[in-house]
A and B are shown apart, each in its own frame.
Chain A
Amino acid sequence: MLTALLVMIGLALLLGIVLGYSALKFKVEGDPLVEKIDAILPQTQCGQCGYPGCKPYATAIAKGEADINQCPPGGEAGVHALADLLGVEFKPLNAEHGTPKPKSVAVIEESLCIGCTLCIQACPVDAILGAAKQMHTVIAAECTGCELCLAPCPVDCITMVPIAESPTNWKWRYPVYEIKSQINPPTKQVA
């Protein structure tokens, strides 16, 4: 009886030490799930999800506080990727948080800009260049199209311009038209 107790206590102590040691030794810094979710999010930093950026939204998803369908820039593909990652059902985008738009960049009408720096302060990725009472301009390559600079502008000199298709960003189309127009539906073929 006593031996059995001692053995059990000894085992418990031994395992406790092992577990306690490995908890310290193999400690994971940060939440890997947040990183994984953040990697899927488009990093527009637009805040349409209701959180002040992609990382906070990722954190909220990881904690289970936010749903996976609150990111319009990520589109349906983004929701699918999140659903795959988290092992949950796909949901269509929540329209409350906006609808997907074609990727755009902000353009400042430079003749109207009064140099108030409000848009510079609003830009989440520091993509607007300028100084007080100096004309501002958007670094198009860095702009994520988040539209956060539109609201603060007192003279409404910023517009969102969709990125036009050019030979450099042009994509080959999915050759669906050639098959769909000619092929019979599979069910008929089987019959």
Chain B
Amino acid sequence: MISRLFKFNGGVHPPQHKLESTKAPITTVAMPQRLVLPLRQHVGNMAKLQVEVGERVLKGQLLAMADGQISAAVHAPTSGTIVSVQDQMIPHPSGLPDICITLDADGQDRWIEHQALDYRSLAKSEVIQCLADAGVVGLGGATFPTHVKLREDAHRPVKTLILNGAECEPYISCDDMLMRERGEEIVRGIEIMQYLLAAETCVIGIEDNKPEAVAAMRAAAANSSVPISVVIVPTIYPGGGAKQLIEVLTGKEVPSGKLPTEIGVQCFNVATAYSVHRFINHGEPVISRIVTVTGEVSRPGNFEVPLGMAIDQLVEVAGGATSDINGLIMGGPMMGFNLPPAPVPVVKATNCIIASTPGMFPKQPQALPCIRCTRCADACPVNLQPQELYWFSRAQNLEKARDYQLFDCIECGCCSYVCPSNIPLVQYYRFAKSEIIAQDKARQAATIARERNDFRLMRIEREKQERAQRHAQKTAGKTEVTADDEVKKAAIAAAMERARAQKTEVTPQNTDSLTPAVQTEIAEIDARRTAVESTRSGDNPSDQEQQQKV
């Protein structure tokens, strides 16, 4: 299937230091008393908490579920009680705390009910949803949620499934030991992945410094139902980078800013295949991982560690560090970072812990000016121009750095490794990258704020218009009403007029047949009335009016 191998540009050959930790088989670590589980152990959204403080949980129980597509669940590595949910130190280059669940083990290690999944009888989408709930992430160190990568895409079918067993970084040997001891189980995982992606070929790439792993995987692959080829790739750092391994095996370069699926390839770490198998065929979510503990410790080796165990304790299990160490490194010497002095837990990304001494990794001598020798460009596995990127990053000319494809940089550290001036190039790139990301985020937030402000102004304007319209309607209504009023007033006036006219017209009906006495009396009264009226009209006409009305 793979007839010949290809090469990527550059790469370096740092001392391997893998033998120290591969002498003993994988040791399962005793369950510690207390586990600290960060809610963010993966790329993407923080997992959503599903338990309360004080709650008793069983081993394998869901503690936090995936929030959205790019997220992964967190499970209880043992049975016990949730003691707290609060900010605690996490293994992160920032040395800043993040939200963690603290679980106190009850010592019973009692499993929650779990069972294997008959993945061939289920719809693929259901299997993928189950994987999202199982908290499976890429265990090579990137911790990208695996279920996202296992979705079949009709537009970009995966032809080649590549399993990354290269493990190129010095000191790290966890994948090597896993392949040696659990090859069969890795192959079961590959079978599931192959089924989900409907890949035509499956290739396991292993560097030639791991002959035992190659032999174990070849033996396991021979028993598999799907054809899996085990390919030996030359040992060169960073040959285990996903894109580099793809290039070595297929000769195709993943386009800048695109995913490997663009060229019909999908790549997983062997340990990820193993955890897919553990979940699908045994129902066990990701609650432990293999960690290499090496460097200046008494018994370097590989350990199966429950997630959340304090790294200090793990170092003690490995015989404890010698007294002259100046810190612990998580990851390898090329891409890893120094852990903060405070205790931090093992997370899904923890592939290796190195107890380092000043002798192992001497402090970088003073950085000298760049002499433009371009050795960094010769060493760059992604064909960038590190010296240009360095100038732009140093001058904080971020747009220019982006134009020179800063974001294709995998931060492998080859450029810094070969730099004769000892310039900490990767640090400049990391600075520039995080600065650009922050600027982009700020720009996005500004766009949202602008839209919201525009909408608010539009709404205020609309409300104003609506009010004006309502007001206009009201006033228009009022004039109509006044017209009505006038009509009414006129009607009233007319009625009053009529009444007055009637009043004046009306003559007393009982004056026809009157006795002369009554007539004279009436005449007298009339005379008196006119007399009174005339006097009143003289001093008070309104009274007279009143009189008249009366």
Interface residues of A (CB under 8 A from B): 38, 41-45, 53-55, 124-127, 142, 144, 165-175, 178-179, 182-183, 186, 189
Contact = CB atoms under 8 A, between A and B. Distances in A.
B452 A126 contact: yes
Interface string B451-463: 0111111000000
Contacts of A174: 396, 428, 431
Given A167-B92, A174-B431, 6 more contacts: A43-B445, A126-B455, A170-B96, A171-B438, A178-B424, A178-B427
Contact of A172 (B396, B433, B447, B448): B433
A29 to B, nearest CB: 16
B363 to A, nearest CB: 10
Given A127-B452, A172-B431, A183 B96 contact: no
B259 interface: no
Interface string B404-445: 000000000000000000001001101101110010011001
Contact of B448 (A142, A171, A173): A142
B480 interface: no
A43 B19 CA distance: 57
Contact of B453 (A43, A168, A170, A179): A43
A189 B367 contact: no
Nearest to A74: B446
Nearest to A146: B449
B450 A183 contact: no
A81 B122 CA distance: 57
B456 to A, nearest CB: 5
A103 to B, nearest CB: 9
B324 interface: no
A175 B449 contact: no
20 contacts: A41-B446, A42-B442, A53-B453, A53-B457, A55-B453, A125-B449, A165-B94, A167-B40, A168-B40, A170-B96, A170-B434, A171-B431, A171-B438, A172-B433, A172-B434, A178-B367, A182-B366, A182-B367, A183-B367, A183-B369
Contacts of B364: 178
Contacts of A168: 40
Nearest to B90: A167
Nearest to A171: B434
A169 to B, nearest CB: 7
Nearest to A144: B449
* Most chain A CB atoms below 10 A, which of B90, B445, B453, B456: B453
Nearest to B430: A172
Given A170-B94, A189-B369, A42 B431 contact: no
Contacts of B96: 165-167, 170
Nearest to A127: B452
Contacts of B434: 170-172
B123 interface: no
B298 to A, nearest CB: 32
A53 B94 CA distance: 36
Contacts of B442: 42
B514 interface: no
Contact of B456 (A126, A173, A179): A126
Contacts of A175: 424, 427-428, 431
Nearest to B364: A178
Contacts of B40: 167-168
Contacts of B445: 43, 144
B367 A179 contact: yes
A69 B456 CA distance: 26
Contacts of B90: 167
B67 to A, nearest CB: 13
B161 to A, nearest CB: 32
A183 B92 contact: no
B98 A166 contact: yes
Contacts of B433: 172
A77 B457 CA distance: 28
A161 to B, nearest CB: 16
Contacts of A171: 431, 434-435, 438
Contacts of B1: none
B368 A173 contact: no
A189 B336 CA distance: 34
Contacts of B435: 171
Contact of A43 (B366, B427, B446): B446
Nearest to B423: A179
B94 A45 contact: no
Contacts of B367: 178-179, 182-183
Contact of B366 (A54, A127, A169, A183): A183
A144 B447 CA distance: 11
Given A43-B446, A167-B94, A171-B438, A124 B366 contact: no
Contacts of A173: 431
A142 B444 CA distance: 11
A174 B450 CA distance: 31
B431 A125 contact: no
A183 B368 contact: yes
Contacts of A189: 369
B218 to A, nearest CB: 41
B98 A167 contact: yes
Nearest to B429: A172
**Those 5 A-B pairs whose CB atoms lie nearest each other, nearest first:** A182-B366, A170-B94, A43-B446, A172-B430, A175-B427
B438 to A, nearest CB: 6
